[in-house]
Amino acid sequence: MRSAVLHTLGSDLSVESLEPLPPAPRDVVVQVQASGICHTDLSMRNGLFPMMFSGPMIGGHEGAGVVVDVGAQVSRVALGDRVIASFRPACGTCPSCVAGRSHLCDAHGTFLHRPRALRHNGEQTVAMSGIGTFSEFLTCDEASVVRIESDLPASHLALLGCGMTTGVGAALFTARVQAGSTVAVLGCGGVGQSVIQGAAVAGAARIIAIDPIESKREIALRVGATDVIDPTTGPAHELVRELMRGRGVQYAFDVVGGPEAVASTYAMIDKGGMVVLVGYGPIDAELRLPAFDLQSQEKTVKGCVAGSAQVRRDFQKFIDLIETGRLKTDDLVSQEVALDDINIAMKAMLSGDVVRSVITAF
Ligand SMILES: [Zn+2]
Ligand SMILES: [Zn+2]
């Protein structure tokens, strides 16, 4: 099978032919039809998560495809099922899953370093997030795939594997945005655009999209933002408060990450407001927050991983929202590319012109 492999942190991925290892009893083999390229793939490549890198790794963590083989003990999916891979497993039986927090599944980490294929020289490769979607085929534990029913193109379904679920879920499940409320979203890439859409589905009265790139602000307006701000024209929190006639917003989503972005979103929220940390900065970054203001104004600063979504419940829910036009995927898939163009597509993300590149030719 052809796969894009990360060999050294900081270097380009290499597209090569691998020999997949046979599936274990609980494993599923998926023919990947589409794989989104997410900013986290770039962060992984650039060495932001050294603890998750243990040697040659098939990249990618956002994909959709069809089940082509199953281990003897697999019960959740069958041959021919359409599935979306989830970058966080949802085993269904650990205390987190049983408590309705499958996005924090205790099995996360168990599959990260499992060998999945051999290189031509016999060297083993693992798969990013236990799935490795930059590949013609992927082998993963059944905890990492969700069977879905849809006629949507795989290039759109793939987005649910990470970016879209993270963003929509951040609004609907992490923050639980209320109808009629006010929202600001800092950073309008694939995830930020999805936060905007989640807030729109929730019925937010005002959704302010903040991004320095004009094309992203235009997309934001198409997918549900009511106002846009160019943060190169002044401090974002001041521009938000100007729009809000001096008040802050009730929910501010930091989809950029890092202490500066958190400080900026914190300065945007009203009394009783909430900052949601969707983006992430360097893993050793620490935050400084005004403790008395946080306490006395009843503000909340909340982490968010995978949009707090329960993938076995929510993937199909999101598909229904896409199929009925209330979540929009057209503007999110900027271009379809071939696996061979992986490194070019990853660089295109930095230029800011691309919301999402999706690999559809392997
Ligand atoms: Zn991602
Ligand atoms: Zn679990």
Indicate whether 272 belongs to any domain: yes
Question: In terms of domains, do 184 and 293 share one?
Answer: yes
Question: In terms of domains, do 286 and 226 share one?
Answer: yes
User: Please, which residues have CB less than 5 A from ligand 2, an ion?
Assistant: 91, 94, 97, 105, 107
The rounded Å distance from CA 272 to ligand 1 centre is 30
Which ligand sits nearest to residue 61's alpha carbon? 1
Single-letter code of the amino acid located at 223: V
DSSP string covering 256-297: S-SHHHHHHHHTTEEEEEEEEE-S---TT------HHHHHHT
The rounded Å distance from CA 293 to ligand 1 centre is 33
pLDDT score, position 54: 84
The rounded Å distance from CA 94 to ligand 2 centre is 4
**In the predicted structure, residue 352 carries a pLDDT above the cut 80:** no
Question: What percent of the chain is predicted at pLDDT more than 70?
Answer: 100
Average of per-residue pLDDT across 186-198 = 97
The rounded Å distance from CA 304 to ligand 2 centre is 17
Indicate whether 266 belongs to any domain: yes
Examine the fold and report which residue of 305, 320, 352 is the final residue of a domain before the chain moves on: 305
Question: In terms of domains, do 124 and 244 share one?
Answer: no
The rounded Å distance from CA 162 to ligand 1 centre is 5
Question: In terms of domains, do 123 and 172 share one?
Answer: no
Indicate whether 311 belongs to any domain: no
Which ligand sits nearest to residue 255's alpha carbon? 1
77-86: per-residue pLDDT in tens? 999 999 999 9
- DSSP bridge partners of 254: 186, 277
pLDDT score, position 49: 87
Average of per-residue pLDDT across 41-65 = 92
| Mean pLDDT lowest among 126-135, 158-167, 316-325, 343-352 | 343-352
Indicate whether 250 belongs to any domain: yes
Count of the separate structural domains present in the chain? 2
Question: In terms of domains, do 30 and 106 share one?
Answer: yes
Question: Which CATH number goes with the domain that contains 251?
Answer: 3.40.50.720
- pLDDT band for position 297 (cuts 50, 70, 90): very high
The rounded Å distance from CA 59 to ligand 2 centre is 23
134-156: per-residue pLDDT in tens? 999 999 999 999 999 999 999 99
pLDDT score, position 354: 86
The rounded Å distance from CA 166 to ligand 1 centre is 8
**In the predicted structure, residue 197 carries a pLDDT above the cut 80:** yes
Under DSSP, is residue 126 helix (H, G, I), strand (E, B) or coil? strand
The rounded Å distance from CA 55 to ligand 2 centre is 26
The rounded Å distance from CA 10 to ligand 2 centre is 32
The rounded Å distance from CA 164 to ligand 1 centre is 9
Question: In terms of domains, do 219 and 272 share one?
Answer: yes
Domain containing 27 equals 2-161+330-361
To the nearest 10°, report the CA torsion of 285, 290, 292, 296.
-100
Indicate whether 316 belongs to any domain: no
Question: In terms of domains, do 71 and 184 share one?
Answer: no
Do residues 217 and 331 touch, judged by C-beta distance below 8 A? no
Question: Which CATH number goes with the domain that contains 74?
Answer: 3.90.180.10
Q: Which residues contact 238 (CB under 8 A, 6 or more apart)?
A: none
Question: In terms of domains, do 251 and 357 share one?
Answer: no
Which ligand sits nearest to residue 163's alpha carbon? 1
Average of per-residue pLDDT across 243-264 = 97
pLDDT score, position 355: 87
pLDDT score, position 74: 98
Q: Which residues contact 81 (CB under 8 A, 6 or more apart)?
A: 66, 67, 147
Question: In terms of domains, do 155 and 178 share one?
Answer: no
